């Protein structure tokens, strides 16, 4: 936009989803995915005069159910309603056995809908996760109409969320839900620049040729989620060749990152999509407490400029990023580089 501002979609419906602990191997750790994350970004963008704020519109549950199993969405809805206000429910584990659904224990039943124990449920979680999908959809509708760049400040994040399993702080896959909203306009590319591989986004689009998934992320040999993200994962069936992973080594700094991003953008340009969805994680920052890349706040301008050079109407969907003191300035660098 000529004035430098882009539409920024937000909602405060997530703030009571505030898990304080995550369990790793049965030990509780402070939870980094905190409610202030999107607010810090929003405030910095407003301060820098880069944002036209838009509140999210509500959408029917059907938009979630076309990506996730309805039984999964309904489980989260009903489980959250059973919890006390401050209660935090961690799945007892991970189970593929439907017999666990008859357990008296909600934590055991939750293990059927989880692939890890780091996406706890609270009473406010369902509303938060649904509102995050609404934030993404509100942005997607504008991008479908041709808006050049829209930022959707989704929280909780989404790219780890699988068809019927939560994990990695994620419940509903906001980026893939948005991609489906954009499909009537034409083919969609998802470019995932979060530090972590978007296992959910990959799996939800793996057998499709109308959604290209391209991801730059920390090599799964060293980083979460560990079970996906290698370069040999290329799609299946008619989606063969429409999934592209670029695993990167720990300590990756901007020059190597930008060279790989340039390759990824060439792949996207060759696909010639009608619309682009960026899964935007700021956990590639050197100061991120749960990641090990070496990008600086100003480097996000180079990333934004490279993506903008694709010249595609683009929805930027917030994923991770946990260095609270760096989120605002990183987002200002990134959005400031968009035309
Ligand atoms: Zn991440």
Contact 90, 120 (CB under 8 A): yes
Contact 214, 192 (CB under 8 A): yes
- Tell me the domains of the chain and their CATH numbers: 6-22+29-68+124-336 (3.40.800.20)
> CA 309, CA 103: separation in Å to the nearest integer?
53
Contact 283, 331 (CB under 8 A): no
pLDDT by position in tens, the chain (length 339):
447 899 999 999 999 999 987 766 677 778 899 999 999 999 999 999 999 999 999 999 999 999 999 999 999 999 999 999 989 999 999 999 999 999 999 999 999 999 999 899 999 999 999 999 999 999 999 999 999 999 999 999 999 999 999 999 999 999 999 999 999 999 999 999 999 999 999 999 999 999 999 999 999 999 999 999 999 999 999 999 999 999 999 999 999 999 999 999 999 999 999 999 999 999 999 999 999 999 999 999 999 999 999 999 999 999 999 999 999 999 999 999 998
> CA 78, CA 36: separation in Å to the nearest integer?
26
Beta 314-318 vs 149-152: how paired, if at all? parallel
Contact 257, 295 (CB under 8 A): yes
Distance 158 CA to ligand 1 centre (A): 10
Distance 257 CA to ligand 1 centre (A): 16
Contact 58, 130 (CB under 8 A): no
Which are the catalytic amino acids?
160
> CA 232, CA 303: separation in Å to the nearest integer?
25
Distance 160 CA to ligand 1 centre (A): 9
Distance 303 CA to ligand 1 centre (A): 16
Say what the pTM is.
Answer: 0.97
Distance 316 CA to ligand 1 centre (A): 15
Residues belonging to the chain? 339
């Amino acid at each position: 936009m000529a004035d430098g501002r882009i539409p920024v979609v937000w909602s405060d419906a997530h703030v009571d989803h505030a898990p304080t602990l995550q369990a790793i191997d049965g030990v509780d750790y402070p939870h980094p995915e905190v409610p202030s994350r999107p607010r810090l970004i929003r405030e910095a963008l407003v301060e820098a005069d880069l944002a036209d704020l838009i509140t999210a519109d509500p959408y029917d549950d059907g938009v979630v159910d076309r990506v996730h199993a309805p039984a999964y969405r309904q489980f989260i809805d009903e489980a959250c309603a059973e919890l006390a206000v401050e209660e935090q429910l961690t799945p007892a584990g991970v189970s593929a056995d439907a017999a666990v659904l008859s357990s008296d224990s909600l934590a055991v039943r939750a293990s059927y809908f989880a692939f890890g124990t780091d996406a706890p449920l609270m009473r406010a979680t369902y509303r938060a996760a649904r509102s995050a999908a609404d934030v993404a959809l509100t942005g997607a509708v504008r991008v479908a109409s041709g808006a050049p760049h829209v930022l959707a400040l989704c929280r909780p994040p989404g790219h780890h969320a699988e068809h019927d399993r939560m994990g990695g702080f994620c419940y509903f896959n906001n980026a893939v839900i948005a991609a489906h909203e954009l499909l009537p306009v034409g083919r969609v590319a998802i470019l995932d620049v979060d530090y972590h591989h978007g296992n959910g986004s990959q799996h939800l689009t793996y057998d499709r040729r109308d959604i290209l998934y391209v991801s730059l992320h920390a090599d799964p040999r060293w980083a979460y989620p560990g079970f996906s993200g290698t370069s040999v994962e290329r799609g299946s069936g008619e989606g063969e060749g429409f999934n592209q992973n670029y695993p990167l080594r720990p300590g990756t700094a901007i020059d190597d990152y930008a060279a790989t991003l340039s390759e990824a953008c060439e792949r996207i340009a060759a696909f010639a999509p009608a619309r682009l969805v960026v899964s935007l994680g700021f956990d590639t920052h050197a100061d991120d407490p749960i990641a090990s890349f070496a990008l600086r706040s100003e480097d996000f301008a180079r990333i934004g400029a490279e993506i903008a050079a694709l010249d595609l109407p683009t929805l930027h969907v917030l994923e991770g990023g946990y260095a609270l003191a760096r989120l605002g300035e990183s987002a200002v660098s990134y959005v400031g580089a968009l035309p």
